[in-house]
Amino acid sequence: MISEWQNHKTQLRGYVSQRIDDDSAVDDILQEVYIKASGNLHQLKSRGSLKSWLYRIAHNTIMDFYRERQQFESLPDDLMAEELDTGKEAREELAQCLGPLIDELPEKYAKPLRLAELEGVSQQRIAEQLGLSLSGAKSRIQRGRVKFRQQMMACCDFEVGQGGITGYTPKDANHRKKCKSP
C-alpha cells in the first residue's frame, strides 16, 4: 500500500489543495485519506481501480472537512416558544364556544358530556351521579360527543395543522357572538 500511495500522493495533494482554502489542512486531509484507505483496503475490488478509489476517499474527506467547518447561526431562545404557541389563541377562543355548544345539546347528552369533558369526572362517577348504569353513562357520553362534533362542524370552519386546531371561523353571527370573550 505504501508504494502505491507514494505513486498517487502528489496528484492527490494537488486535487485536495485545489478544493481546500486552508493550506494547513491539506496535509491533515491527505493523512486522513491514507488512514481511511489503508484501513479499508479490503474493500478495494481491483488494483486497477485504486486511483479512482483514492480520489473518492479524498473527495469524501474534503466534504467531511467542510461539514465540520460549517458555521451555524444559533437559534433565538424564543423560537421554540413561538412554535409551541401555534394555534394556542385559537384553541383558547374555541374553548369559550364549547360551553354554549354543549348547552345546545339535549340535556340527557349535555350533562354527562359536560361532566366528562369539561369537569374531568370519571364515567363511573357520572353513572352514579345521574343514576345510570356504567354502560348507560358511557353510551350517553359517546352519543353526546357525536352530536357535539356534528354541532361544531355545523357552526364553525376549522383550520387543522400538525398541532391540532390552528384556527377557526364561526359560520354565522349567532355563534360568533357566543364565542366572543365576556
Quickly tell me which residue has 348547552 as its cell.
103
pTM: 0.45
For the chain, what percentages of helix, strand and coil (3-state, to nearest 5) are there?
75, 5, 20
Tens digit of pLDDT per residue, the chain (182 long)?
677 777 788 888 899 999 988 888 898 999 999 898 888 877 777 767 788 888 899 999 999 998 888 777 777 776 655 445 555 666 666 667 777 888 889 999 999 998 888 788 899 999 999 999 999 999 999 999 999 888 888 887 878 777 777 777 777 766 555 554 43
Copy the grid coordinates of residue 107: 340535556
Domains of the chain: 2-69 (1.10.1740.10), 86-179 (1.10.10.10)
With H, G, I as helix, E, B as strand and everything else as coil, classify residue 159: strand
